Structure 1
């Protein structure tokens, strides 16, 4: 008996003309490989902001010099946390998207732009902590950057869903719940950025709370049909 899936089956090979006017339809492998490369670079670069103190004489002041550089270490830890949390959720989204197209790739590039940039406002904030006069503006800068990063994630999701790149085997109610979750996350971060201009401490605390909320694992994907085989399994 011929086991070849029907062209209408969700398990059928992808057609390159499935999204008319969007260029060739392709799988997500190349997009995920490129995104992982961006994440890897973004995750690595902040460590170069940690400056090794100059050793003079016997180097007996090294301990105090290292302690004096604590803002650099703090900036590295915060930037690594932000990038790592977004990578974890981006990795999860590999189970959600099934295809890519022109607009979706552009939206993904916008999101990756913010991932590559986020370490700079983090550095500005961390290095401003010893300088009270600069701290409010640095905190607002970081809150705005986190809001823009969250909005870029929502944009990527919205564009991918609009152009049909979300796996059509998923339960529509599950997809709707993801949409509401991402909208709430973005609204929270935008509100935090706006409040930061009134009280930077409250705004920054809200931004931090929104970020830490990403520690909660996302809901397991729900499928209307049999779930696809996980990559690497027989």
Structure 2
């Protein structure tokens, strides 16, 4: 007959706070989410500084023409804002999925946030290269590659969190499995887009745009095995 092992204190071993051996102390997600929101807020704000006010001279009659001439900067701002906003929305949603954090999960999250903080640069490089036909292919490939890497770091963060038990254990396992399949499919699609871009950059650009725009769809509502946890008051 199977018997349950004695708790650590019964055998004289020190009592542990959690079961994540070698990861320090497992904590809640509050500080991680606060840090991530700060990174997203800064990343969302920085692209506006790439839009420079034209220099006024004379009567200022040329202002309209100068504003129109700066359209690549505005395109870059719009694209960067879209990418960062879509990832923030899904990262905000994931706050209802993760219940704890640990050492490796935090490192994976930091890697993902590194790409979020960086992604505005390849977007800017692409937007400002649009008027220059010889530069556009390289800028497009660079953008597609960086977007694919961002998707890879999202999947890596999810995989580490899931593997190390930081996903809420009250969730329906079938629901968690569906999320895993979705993230894998989207990441595989984006990696394929990066590969295609090296052969024919317009096709790679279209594919990565499709992989990004799928994030416009709301995520599936979490399913729980028992009673769903109460929605916390965010103040």
Q: 1:33 deviation in Å? A: 0.2
Tell me how far 1:19 sits from its aligned partner. 1.2
Match of 1:8 in 2: none
Aligned match of 2:107: 106
Q: Give 1:16 deviation, angstroms.
A: 3.3
Tell me if structure 2 keeps the 8 A contact 1:98–1:167. Answer: yes
Match of 1:43 in 2: 44
**TM-score with structure 1 length normalisation?**
0.92
Q: How many residues in Structure 1 have an aligned counterpart in Structure 2?
A: 220
Instruction: Describe how 1:82-161 pairs up with structure 2 within 5 A.
Output: 82-161=83-162
Name the SS for the 2:85 alignment partner: helix
Match of residue 24 from structure 2:
23
Deviation at 1:232, TM superposition (A): 1.5
Separation in 1 of the partners of 2:106 and 2:26? Answer: 11
Residue 57 of structure 1: aligned partner: 58
1:191 counterpart residue number? 192
| Superimposed CA distance per residue, residues 23-46 of structure 1 (whole angstroms, 9 cap, x where no aligned partner) | 101000000000000000000000
Residue 3 of structure 2 aligns with which residue? none
Query: Equivalent residues in 2 for 1:168-187 (5 A)?
Result: 168-187=169-188
Contact 1:17 / 1:23 at 8 angstroms: preserved in 2? no
Secondary structure of the equivalent of 1:197?
A: helix
Cα distance, 1:225 vs. partner? 1.2
List per-residue Cα deviations over 1:70-89 (Å, max 9, x = no partner).
00000000000000000000
1:69 aligns with 2:39: no
Q: CA RMSD in A?
A: 1.2
Cα contact 1:170–1:224 (8 A) shared by 2: yes
Instruction: Report the Cα offset of residue 18 of structure 1.
Output: 2.9
Unpaired segments of 5 or more residues in structure 2? 1-15
Aligned to 1:33: 34
Q: Does 1:81 align with 2:78?
A: no
1:20 Cα shift? 1.4
| Contact 1:16 1:26 survives alignment (8 Å) | no
Deviations for 1:109-161, whole angstroms, at most 9, x for unmatched residues? 00000000000000000000000000000000000000000000000000000
